[in-house]
Amino acid sequence: MFYKITLGALFLSISIVSLSSQGYALTCGADTGDPMMPCGGPEDQFDGGFKPSVGHGGFGGGDCSATKTPLIYVHGNGDHAINFAADPAHPASGATKSVYSELKAAGYNDCELFGITYLSPTERENPEKNFHNRDKQSTIAEFIAEVLQYTGAEKVDVVTHSLGVSMTLSALKRFNKWPDVRRFISISGAIRGLNACYAVGYANAFVPTCASQNYWDSYMFGFHPDGYWSNNDWTGSSGERSMRKAPSFNDDVDFYSISAGKHDQILCSTSINASVCDEGALFEDNANVKAQLDIGTGTEVLTVDYDFTDGSVTNSAGGDLDGVGHFGSRLNAGKIIVNMLTSDCEETDCAQGYTSQTNHREPDDSVDSRGDSIVAGPNGVNVDEIDRETSANNSSGCSSTKGLPLEPTFPLIFFGCVAFRRKVRRHILD
């Protein structure tokens, strides 16, 4: 009897050691109460000896080896990496599993899935203060280098969301990391700028996320659209820094975008340029742009709802209220991301297995960010832009440009705005 108990204990001990050495899967942890950013688990979920020297947490590594191209996830503003494990807020809207779970089901192991939290807790609490700068860009570039060293891989695939899209595009450019990338997936990135930033102004010290391009450091910039008075090569349509043109300067990389169109409460938060806001996350067409999918569903942004809990007569939560909006495009896209990374799919073929509405999008680059035909003026700038920016930047917190109605800008600018997140939470939980 003693012999059997001893053997059983030994077997159990070996099993526990074996399990602990395999590396734990990324866990979402305690629910934060925010359905768009629900994961309250440990910030640091690295394992298997992988201890990156940069960032404020993340995940990846284990007792395994990488046979697939490693994936690196770069989160958006106000967020952190572990929300990669968050379940869809509206499971009926095309998905039932987190992106992480879909990738694990597709055969990825923990030595092939990595994420970096590049914002500190204080920065996550103050999203309006975050902008693109060397510190954040170098964090992402160094993390890529350390993942390559840890896995022994030659290249990585990069999946990015919101601010993480533009932060990564600028990091890859600044530190010449594009040769290390095989595929790049952009999810709801404001690569053409944020129209709401017209009302805030391009030099507002209180909201630097809406800044233009810095004069002394051209890699430091915010989301103000490029214009006559507010130069921003990154959100603009010309030059080697133009984010929408990134595919044309990196022919060896396959590009994909996933967006929510006019259901995106960040890109379409204002009636300024509303007719073309759904193109804000799109790359310019190029041979290596394999798919640009709009998965937005539910209520469109600015739909009149007379619900003043978000400080507005219109819906400021977009599709995330009851379908897929800015955050849902990340939460729901697991199957699409798997297809983009593991097959040679193009256009809507990349949505195989995704059960909700999907449309392939191509931008109309014969018009400007407002939907007007482009008319060359001084230095090739649309002549209407001069009057537009002069008017917009004289505004104080609200926009009445071109006869548009006054609109509060704070709920429109904050990535993770408390008001619309409160409305979404109430709609889902009540």
pLDDT digits (tens, 9 = 90+) for 323-333: 999 999 999 99
Q: What is the rounded average pLDDT of the residues 303-311?
A: 51
pLDDT above 50 (res 427):
no
Strands, E, within 171-245: which ranges? Answer: 181-187
Q: Which amino acid is at 54?
A: V
At residue 418 the predicted structure's pLDDT band, cuts being 50, 70 and 90, is very low
State pLDDT tens for residues 7-47. 343 333 333 333 333 334 799 999 999 989 999 999 999 99
Q: Is the pLDDT of residue 93 over 50?
A: yes
Q: Kindly tell me the burial class for residue 41, based on how many C-beta atoms sit within 10 Å of its own C-beta (0-12, 13-18, 19 or more).
A: buried
Beta-carbon contacts of 261 under 8 Å, excluding residues fewer than 6 positions away, are 268, 278, 294, 296, 359, 361
Give per-residue burial for 148-162: e unless 16+ CB within 10 Å, then b.
bebbebebbbbbbbb
What tokens does 129 get? 């203060």
For the chain, the average pLDDT equals 81
CA atoms within 13 A on the CB side of 405: 9
Q: Is the pLDDT of residue 209 over 80?
A: yes
Alpha carbons 162 and 2: distance in angstroms, whole number: 60
- Grade residue 121 by pLDDT with cuts at 50, 70 and 90: very high
The CA distance from 207 to 201, in Å, is 9
Grouping H, G, I as helix, E, B as strand and the rest as coil, residue 262 is: helix
- Residue 172's alpha-carbon distances to 14, 26, 60, 177, 197, in angstroms, are 44, 26, 21, 5, 25
- pLDDT score, position 5: 35
Alpha helices per DSSP H over 223-368: 246-249, 328-331, 334-342
- Residue ranges per structural domain of the chain: 27-429
Superfamily of domain 27-429: Alpha/Beta hydrolase fold, catalytic domain (3.40.50.1820)
Measured in degrees and rounded to the nearest 5, phi and psi for residue 294 equal -100, 115
User: How far, rounded to the nearest angstrom, does the alpha carbon of residue 141 sit from its chain's CA centroid?
Assistant: 17
Task: Please name the residues in contact with 60: beta carbons below 8 A apart, sequence gap of 6 or more.
Answer: 45, 46, 47, 50, 110, 111, 113, 114, 115, 147
Backbone angles phi, psi at 48, to 5 degrees: 65, 30
Q: What is the mean pLDDT of residues 247-276?
A: 92
How many residues comprise the chain? 430
pLDDT(373) > 50: no
How much is the pLDDT for 327? 95
- Residue range 51-77: average pLDDT? 97
* Token pair listed for 352: 């195989």
Rounded to 10 deg, the angle between the 134-151 and 163-174 helix axes is 80
Question: Could you tell me the two tokens for 287?
Answer: 């041979």
Distance CA 218, CA 212 (A): 10
Of 375, 366, 370, the closest CA to residue 401 belongs to 370
Q: What is the pLDDT of residue 359?
A: 72
Average pLDDT of span 249-275:
92
Share of the chain above pLDDT 90, in %: 64
pLDDT digits (tens, 9 = 90+) for 338-352: 999 999 999 999 999
Q: Are 75 and 83 in contact (CB under 8 A)?
A: yes
Confidence of residue 423 (pLDDT cuts 50, 70, 90): very low
In single-letter form, the type of residue at position 18 comes to S
Q: What is the largest CA-CA distance in the chain?
A: 93
Measured in whole angstroms, the distance separating CA 332 from the mean position of its chain's CA atoms is: 13
Query: Full-prediction pTM beyond 0.75?
Result: yes
Place of tokens 């889902």: 428
Strand ranges (E), 95-192: 113-116, 156-161, 181-187
Q: What is the pLDDT of residue 311?
A: 53
| 332 φ, ψ (degrees, to nearest 5) | -95, -5
